[in-house]
Structure 1
Amino acid sequence: MTARSLSTVAFAPGVGRPVALRRDAPNASITLRGLSKSFGDKPVLRDIDLHVPAGQFLAIVGRSGCGKSTLLRTIVGLEGPSSGTIQVAGGRSDAGRIMFQEPRLLPWARIVDNVRVGVRNGGSKADARKAALAALDEVGLADRAGEWPSVLSGGQKQRVALARALVSHPQVLALDEPLGALDALTRIEMQTLLERVWREQGFTAVLVTHDVSEALALADRVVLIENGAIALDVAVDLPRPRRRGSVEIAKLEGAILDKLFGDIERPTDESPLHREAVA
């Protein structure tokens, strides 16, 4: 694919505004063409065409089992496609990192050493430790570097997992529902942290989540997956930081939920279900 065609796709409908990157930010766009994935005779992804411009924050939403996590894993190379192509333009061979719902920390390693696991090979042990400490400082945990994972809260463990992903300066950061197990307030704090490091570092972010409001709080663009295919592609052209509960976000959330649930009645202010809920 030529640079001209990449540029043309980047401004297709649904992609949203061009992304303003830091001058020294990584530059890795993602392009999927005709991507399909099957496990045995069961199709999971069906003929997906998708372009993610460098530096964009993309959120993928959908029901459980719709194929969104498989799509994410395929983008970062943890799964191979059954057909179609994936291109990471301008990216290193190790451009991507992934953050899971579970922090997946090594219980026998101190916090700084858990982060050091994410450092790319080639430097000295001292350099790796220095990079790990800097990544911990980025997520507000530099003072916990010498402690064990067992003494951290769930939110702190996910901060360590984020530091481990960031320490290699990824060009693409994949986020597979990393905030799903957190309580509501900790989740909002982590969303704010994710947005800050994304804006500062300029990587391309791809988030999978069940939470449409979370997707709209963080993303430049939301893609809805249904039955392994893209059912909706919505640009979120709202200023940052976004005000939760705003009319604009509520309208976008309503449009996505209407597409997701179809003819299923959602509660309104006048519905019996709503009146029962607030009684």
Structure 2
Amino acid sequence: MSLAETASSRRATEAPAASFVLRGIVKAFGDKKVLRGLDLDVAAGQFVAVIGRSGCGKSTLLRLIAGLDAPDAGAIDFDGTVGVAPRVMFQEPRLLPWANVIANVEIGLGARRREAGARQRALDALAAVGLADRAADWPGALSGGQKQRVALARALVSRPRVLALDEPLGALDALTRIEMQSLLESAWRREGFTALLVTHDVAEAVTLADRIVLLEDGAVALDLEIALPRPRLRGSPEFGQLEETILERLLGPSRRY
């Protein structure tokens, strides 16, 4: 059984994740063509990391998948439809400073904030990220890592089928980043969504992803399945070999150091 099939069967009783397909995606900004006929298939429940050099189109791809921008050519289909609205988690937590923590999480429910049980869903989402005791606090009283936990709770409270993550851990210190990686992986395994992570951190990609997709010249240059068991051991020879392989593909063996 493939990783995609395993992921789908493991989550069969959870909220349904969505698969999506990109065909012939083109996106340009002025005279600069960022994506050039890109094709990509992502199975329901997979965790896919997108890496590449700065300016290769990683964030552009994520914005297109999230519906924040539109391609100039090509098509994006979710489960054969266009009805899926992915949630997005950005590098900055983007919390409203005039709203307390629980109110910031409730924003993720949209119009459903007024439904019965909405407050409890928001409290449950906060508990899942370890901040149940901070519901009444203001964002200004939180650390950077705690703010990102609130942002994750806000993204998860609506039980998304697809979660797009645009370098959400990039501004955190090293230890907090590792803690957040573990929290994100736990949320993915528990909730069953399809995840698309844009990151510059190869070790982070190997830690979290089922697949790593490398972009070059506006297209997919490498699509690598990560078959390591979870949780992943950063110090293991297998982890190190995968990281080495990807770094050599990114930088070239003579330009690593």
TM over 0.5: yes
Q: CA deviation at 1:29?
A: 0.1
- In structure 2, the gaps of 5 or more residues are none
Residue type at the aligned position of 1:33: R
| Dislocated runs of 4+, deviation >2 Å | 15-18, 90-95, 122-128, 262-267
Which residue matches 1:49? 39
Aligned partner of 1:108 among 95, 98, 105: 98
Q: CA deviation at 1:22?
A: 4.0
Of 171-180 and 93-102, the range deviating more from structure 2 = 93-102
- In structure 1, the gaps of 5 or more residues are 1-10, 268-279
In 1: Cα distance, 2:139 partner to 2:62 partner: 27
Aligned partner of 1:24 among 14, 17, 37: 14
Contact persistence 1:16–1:236 (CA under 8 A): no
Q: TM-score, normalised by structure 2?
A: 0.94
- Give CA-to-partner distance per residue, 1:125-176, whole Å, 9 cap, x none: 5532222111111111111000000000000000000000001000000000
- Work out whether 1:243 is the aligned partner of 2:236: no
Q: CA deviation at 1:263?
A: 5.2
Residue type at the aligned position of 1:27: A
Contact persistence 2:107–2:113 (CA under 8 A): no
Aligned length: 255
Aligned partner of 1:234 among 224, 235, 242: 224
Of 96-105 and 119-128, the range deviating more from structure 2 = 119-128
Q: Is the alpha carbon distance of 1:232 and 1:16 closer, same or farther for their aligned partners in structure 2, counting shifts above 3 Å? A: farther
Q: Is the alpha carbon distance of 1:92 and 1:43 closer, same or farther for their aligned partners in structure 2, counting shifts above 3 Å? A: closer
Of 101-110 and 39-48, the range deviating more from structure 2 = 39-48
In 1: Cα distance, 2:149 partner to 2:82 partner: 25
Which residue matches 2:65? 75
- Work out whether 1:87 is the aligned partner of 2:60: no
Aligned partner of 2:89 among 77, 86, 99: 99
Which residue matches 1:133? 123
- Work out whether 1:146 is the aligned partner of 2:136: yes
Which residue matches 2:173? 183
Computing the radius of gyration from Cα coordinates, the structure with the larger value is 1
Q: CA deviation at 1:255?
A: 1.2
Q: CA deviation at 1:18?
A: 3.9
In 2: Cα distance, 1:22 partner to 1:195 partner: 18
Residue type at the aligned position of 1:221: R
Q: CA deviation at 1:91?
A: 7.2
- Give CA-to-partner distance per residue, 1:177-201, whole Å, 9 cap, x none: 0000001110010000000010011
Which residue matches 2:27? 37
Q: TM-score, normalised by structure 1?
A: 0.87
Contact persistence 1:173–1:204 (CA under 8 A): yes
Contact persistence 1:158–1:178 (CA under 8 A): yes
Q: CA deviation at 1:30?
A: 1.1
User: Does the residue aligned with 1:58 lie in a helix, a strand or coil?
Assistant: strand
Aligned-pair identity in percent equals 62
Residue type at the aligned position of 1:128: A
Q: Is the alpha carbon distance of 1:54 and 1:123 closer, same or farther for their aligned partners in structure 2, counting shifts above 3 Å? A: same
In 2: Cα distance, 1:66 partner to 1:122 partner: 37
Residue type at the aligned position of 2:239: I
